[in-house]
A and B are shown apart, each in its own frame.
Chain A
């Protein structure tokens, strides 16, 4: 496994915290009516994307679902512009035309943000196809929700990726619920990572509340894919603290279940490790906390002050 440096621990902690604070602020802005439509929060799942981030190459591509704010932050994108997209303003990553679910940054190889469950899976497979076609050593990380794992095009993509040995790493973020339907009520067979077996795609299950487990698995899988062996599946067991979207009270699960997961909060795990290894002091951690809060507060302010798109923008970007 990749040897983690002291700076890596700080980086992980900072990114996970940034995602958490960002999402909390987004929830607040949603409540204030500053963010509209659907807004899917990533709170509780931070270790997944940050763990993967630790093994990433900047020329690798990423494609994900509509629960994408955390993935963009982990990709190193500017929280100000992400938040400005959530508020539908011209400084947003999609100039206010995409919203929470449809955000992109081509220059950072971030290919969305897709609103249709499962659609990003063939698309990510096609991006991987391009890496291979161009003779590049890069891979495409394609995130999949547990809900999409019962969607036909996902298996069509698995078949094509295995058939053509495409450099794609599939990361199933199993947060236990596809909207309000628990995985065991939707999937025949709960081991989602085994669903590539018929195509010869190796898979493994990982504890997604623990960033170190994620890094270990992602590192191994990433190498396998990068070496030209074809696709690989990681199923990350995670949990979202909030409902499916802002309008979901999550009455389909118990408070005890939620509290139980909070006992293994991914950010607390990293923090404990940092203190245990004496990588930083409590004061230093406190400073990161304060700076992060400040950064996100500024992002919210930026996002609520950025102008709405001009009326003339309605008709632009339909065709190139």
Chain B
């Protein structure tokens, strides 16, 4: 009986991999535990071991082949004396298709959304310097850091695995090579200590970019972020500023459960002295990260792991920036307004497409881009036009960014509202592990559609 060796998922967010190298050839006998191939993922190149035993009957991909979906067969092993019947009679694709576990179906759907829904916003289309090639969010962030490091020696980066490992999520890839170990520093797993150190360096005039492997770990260092970085300008009567960027992935990844899936947007947005940014595309990631690095204040830059692979055009001008505190009207509309940010922009755009198709509702989508300072003007102007508001975000509901927006809108545009504001948030529980529960926890397109229907009084 023959067995397929499938492209493995080597990280929670991996959806496809590249076959760097075969370590076996046709006719070899493999035992469980033998190394069979090197696979390059979105994060690293890793060796893959066999879990079944037999003779290699066929290698289905050549070395160097890229973008092979997770769970696609890459090799077949088995007893050479047996005929591989399935191969002749049923296309291999179909066999694999049937074998797919639910997880991968879901992953694929999620990815499809990210790929197909990301039509450039009007603002991007107007940009005459738009690149013809599309780059990933990961690369947009990397390029911007490199550009600013070339311009100013005072800019340096530190964090866990940012140098030799090339970044836990490959966002700092190649920076060590170009800028050396004096400016790209691997730290020990010591957030409280190295955050305080970076804050001290910023007080003294350097411009650190501090990568948290994920923002979940920023809680270890939150005293230094709030009590030291955010407050010292005020406490010193304007003498000592803190030009630092705290960046890294924020919010849910994929099945990493309660301690590794938390959205900190409203936590940090509550703090005077901090600026808070949450990009949603490679285009605005580039423009906003540059503004963050150049800003003389501490900036919390909330990335999203699932968006790291999202591709899109960018503006490659090394001075291109998007101002902090300006929202982007991602899509104009007249019937209701969705205010959102970060990864929820993608889901909001899909919801808007369906709202148009299924209910003939013309949705205006505002991508906040910056959470603090909040662009209240753009929000209020939109409400005055559409008279209906849904906020969509990944954070917990209590005291979320949407809560503050709802407060501002009822205060400053009460007479313009035709219905109560509805917030779409994650469930008010710690993030569960099980895939089914995780999906329930996170805001989904249907939740947004239901909220939009509710503010529009559609049953």
Contacts and interface: CB of A to CB of B under 8 A. Distances in A.
A121 B196 contact: yes
B228 A119 contact: yes
A128 B182 CA distance: 14
A111 B193 contact: no
A102 interface: yes
Contacts of A95: 237-238
B106 interface: no
B80 interface: no
13 contacts: A92-B237, A106-B240, A111-B203, A119-B227, A125-B200, A126-B201, A129-B197, A130-B200, A156-B190, A160-B194, A316-B238, A317-B237, A320-B238
Contact of A319 (B196, B204, B223, B275): B275
Given A119-B224, A160-B197, A318-B272, A126 B236 contact: no
Contact of B201 (A129, A153, A157, A159): A129
B157 to A, nearest CB: 13
Contacts of A160: 187-188, 190, 193-194, 197
A234 B160 CA distance: 30
Given A122-B195, A123-B200, A129-B200, A98 B235 contact: yes
Nearest to A104: B236
A38 to B, nearest CB: 14
A126 B192 contact: no
A36 interface: no
Contacts, number: 147
B239 interface: yes
Q: Which of A114, A133, A155 has the most CB of B within 10 A?
A: A133
Interface in B245-275: 272-273, 275
Among A94, A105, A153, chain B packs the most CB atoms within 10 A around the CB of A153
B224 A104 contact: no
A130 B201 contact: yes
B233 A123 contact: no
Given A160-B194, A318-B233, A63 B200 contact: yes
Contact of B200 (A111, A116, A159, A320): A111
Interface of A: 61, 63, 92-98, 102-106, 111-116, 119, 121-131, 133, 152-153, 155-157, 159-160, 163-164, 316-320
B163 to A, nearest CB: 13
A119 B236 contact: no
Contact of B236 (A61, A112, A125, A127): A112
B359 interface: no
B205 interface: yes
A156 B192 contact: yes
B199 interface: yes
Contacts of B190: 156, 159-160
B297 interface: yes
B192 A152 contact: yes
B198, B227, B237: most-surrounded residue (chain A CB, <10 A): B237
Contacts of A164: 185
Given A160-B187, A160-B190, A96 B237 contact: yes
